[in-house]
Each structure stands twice: as structure tokens, then as C-alpha cells.
Structure 1
Amino acid sequence: MKKVLLSLLLSGATLGVASAQVEIGLKVSPSVTHLRAGSLENGLQNEKSKLGIGGGIIVDYFFGENYAFGTGLELTGKGGTISYFDPALNRREQQKIGLQYLQVPVTVKLFTNDIATDTKLYFQLGGSLNAAIAGRISGEKYYTDPATQEKTKAAKHVIIPDVGLRAGFGVERQLGKSTRVLVGLSYHRGLLNIDNYFEDERDFKEVELKNSEFALDLGMKF
């Protein structure tokens, strides 16, 4: 009896490995990003979006014919222009913040059956684990505050970790036996307050600074 059960378990595992399919590719993602900003005082707010560019590795692990776990590794730019009232200067100031993130998506991708020859729609929903690896303010690695004249490293103005939600959809077309191209749109919404400057260094009250991104995803899987 034990031998029969062992045989069944081994057979099931073998079938699972055999039916699993991993598709790997590359993508580039031009994007429009902004910072969702607010504060109890000082009128911290978003002023302008910025254009960004990202890209990386796509990894789709299929656990069904039309269902996949979507992950990979991405390098992307985020940020935007914010403004606030500086009581020390009695005027509004602006900061143009540019951030660079490494991201690991943790998503589920759902594919339709063919809507045309070798062409499917896909829908993606999940999140991502993100880490800020570089930052600039007004194009500079260091920022001199006009009110205090203190110089700080721009990358230190935000905390390193961020967690995001993402949702997207697109079209994937098969060009050959294992080659596919995809075009999609996605929205990335940061969940963590990334501010590491206004509350700690300037004593602003209840500051909120969060990432948002709309991206055009262009990719190829091999």
C-alpha cells in the first residue's frame, strides 16, 4: 500500500513539473509618474508629473493553461514636482524629485483564449516590493535647503522600502514557436509614506508622500 501511495505522489509531482511552463522575456516601460502629497500644515501638494522610463525581466510561471504567476525584476524611475509653503522664507518652494527603484512584481496574470489568430488578452493584478536605490532633487544628488542652508543627500529624503499595488491589461501575440510580443498599460500605486525629510528635518506635521505611476509596457518573451 505504501508503495502504491508513493508511486501516486511521484506521478503527481512529475505531471505537475511537466505541465508547468515558464516564459521569460524583457520589457521596456515609458511612464508618467507623480507624487501624491499632502500635509496637515504648510500646504504640501503635487504640482507636476514627470516622464520616466523603466524596464527589466519578465517571468511568467504558468500553473494552468490561462493562469500564470507574474514576477521578474524591474528598474524604473519615479517622482514628480511638489510644492510647499516655507514659513522661514514666507513663500512657496518647489522640489523636483527624481527617484530610481528596483522592483519585484508579485502578481497573477489571467489570459483569455485567442481573440484572433495567436492573439490573447491578458489582465494582471497584484503588487510589488520596491526599493529606492538613488535619488535627485532638481537634477542634483545633494539638496541645499533654502531656509536652513543645510545640505543633505537627495536619496536620504525618502525611505528605501516601498510596497505597491498594480493593475494592468494588454495584448500578447505569438510570433513563433516560443516568441511572443506584448503591449499593455499598467497602473502602479505606492502604499507607503516615503517621506524621510519634511517631518524629521523641517518639523512639518502629518506629511504624506506616496508614489503613483502609469506605464506603457512593451515586451518580448522568448
Structure 2
Amino acid sequence: MKKAAIAILFLFFTVNLFAQENRVGNYGFRLGLTAHPNFGFIKAEGGKGNGVNLGFSYGLIGDFNFAENYSFSTGLTITTINGKSTEVNSAQYQLGNTAAVDIKYMMQYVELPLTIKLKTGDYNGVRWYGQFGLSNDVRISARQDAKSGNSVLANDVNSSDWTKFYRAGLIIGAGGEFNVGNKTSIMAGLTLNNGFTNITDNDYSVKNHFIAINFGVFF
């Protein structure tokens, strides 16, 4: 994990230096840090979702400003998406045709969002934005809890063998950037990350989603 973090920092600082020397339309590139909670939930064709669960995301964010009010916004974060479901006929927990299993998915990804951000003009140091794009996620950890009634079937087991390596999602968000210095601004907003790929190897589809309360600082 330490080597991965060093590699991520090296990559983004290299991109930042390159972007500062090669500005697009004199609007430039902005690099920042983010750390924020999210609230994950599951939708399962073989059952139903079972509430929301707290997760977390942290890492680097960047805006390539190609016009005064338009940016290509991306980043590289470690994102944990937790969620619970109640499923029947789970391929991993064979308990009969009608047995229901309560499963908690604890998934961690390296997330690379590819989005377009549309910003308003600057009003007293505040710029509002809307955001739309694609989430590209590569799994780095997968754990599960499972029980049926009072019977514990799994407790924090490694589920990498029956969960998908890649996850894609649709990103829709909005928020504001608040100028606090000559080149520094604080970002705050809400994002819906709507997963549209199956995260398991089951015959039926299981998808995870989350709503994030976004916080970040651009330098």
C-alpha cells in the first residue's frame, strides 16, 4: 500500500508539472486532495437491498480547465463501498432453493473518475458546479459477512474469487468551490455514483451504489 501511495503521488505531481508548462487555453490544471464519507447500498436481482452502510474515499483530484467555465475533472482515489443485501440462491452460500442469506459486501477500489464539470462565474469568491461522467474502478480488496437466520456462514472472508475485478458507474454531482486564498479553494458537494456492472459472479446481477458527501482542497 505504501508503494502504491508513493506511485500515485509521483504520477500526479508529474502530471501537474507538465500541465503547468503546457497550459490549454491559458486556463491550466488544478490539483487537490479529497477525503470524504459515502453511504453505500446494494441492488440485487436475486433478492433486495438491506439499508445503507458507511464507506470512505480519499486521494487526489484534478481539474483540466479547457475553457473559463468548463473542466475535465478526474482523480485517483481509494474508495470503499459497503452495502448489505438479502439474497436467495446465492452461488457462494448454497442453502436450498428458498433459503435467504443476508450478505454484507465490503468492496475497496482504486477509482479513476472521468467527468465533465460545468462551473458558474465567480460570485464573491464562490463558483457553483454540476458534474457528469463515468467512474472506472479496479478492485483491490473484497470481504464479506454472511448469515442465514441465526447461522453465521461467513465472517469477514476474502471474496475476491467470486467478485468482479472491474466496476463501472455513472457519476452525477453538484456543489461549490469557495475561494480562500490566491490559488487555494475548498470544494464541497454531493455525488451519486450509480454502479451499472455486476460486482459478483452470480447468475443474477448484484450492483453497488453510493452517495458521497464530497470535500476537497484545490491548490
TM-score bucket (shorter structure) = 0.7 to 0.9
Is it true that 1:102 corresponds to 2:107 in the alignment? no
Q: 1:85 and 1:164 mapped to 2: Cα distance?
A: 25
1:153 to 154, 158, 161: 158
Is it true that 1:81 corresponds to 2:84 in the alignment? yes
Is it true that 1:174 corresponds to 2:179 in the alignment? yes
What is the correspondence of 1:47-58 to structure 2 with a 5 Å cutoff? 47-58=50-61
Contact 2:24–2:65 (CA under 8 A) maintained in structure 1: no
How many residues are aligned here? 187
2:218 to 203, 217, 221: 221
Root-mean-square deviation (CA, aligned residues, Å) is: 2.3
Name the amino acid aligned to 1:178: K
Contact 2:25–2:67 (CA under 8 A) maintained in structure 1: no
Name the amino acid aligned to 1:114: D
Gapped runs of 5+ residues in structure 1? 1-13, 140-144, 200-206
Query: How does the TM-score come out when normalised to structure 2?
Result: 0.78
Q: Percent identity at matched positions?
A: 28
Contact 2:179–2:186 (CA under 8 A) maintained in structure 1: yes
Question: Could you tell me which residue of structure 2 aligns to residue 93 of structure 1?
Answer: 101
The residue matched to 1:49 in structure 2 has which SS? strand
Is it true that 1:192 corresponds to 2:200 in the alignment? no
Gapped runs of 5+ residues in structure 2? 1-20, 90-94, 147-151
**Structure 1 moving runs of 4+ over 3 Å:** 14-18
Greater CA deviation, 70-79 or 84-93?
Answer: 84-93
Q: 1:33 and 1:64 mapped to 2: Cα distance?
A: 34
What is the correspondence of 1:120-159 to structure 2 with a 5 Å cutoff? 120-138=127-145, 146=153, 153-159=158-164
Larger radius of gyration: 1
Displacement after TM superposition at 1:163 (Å): 1.1
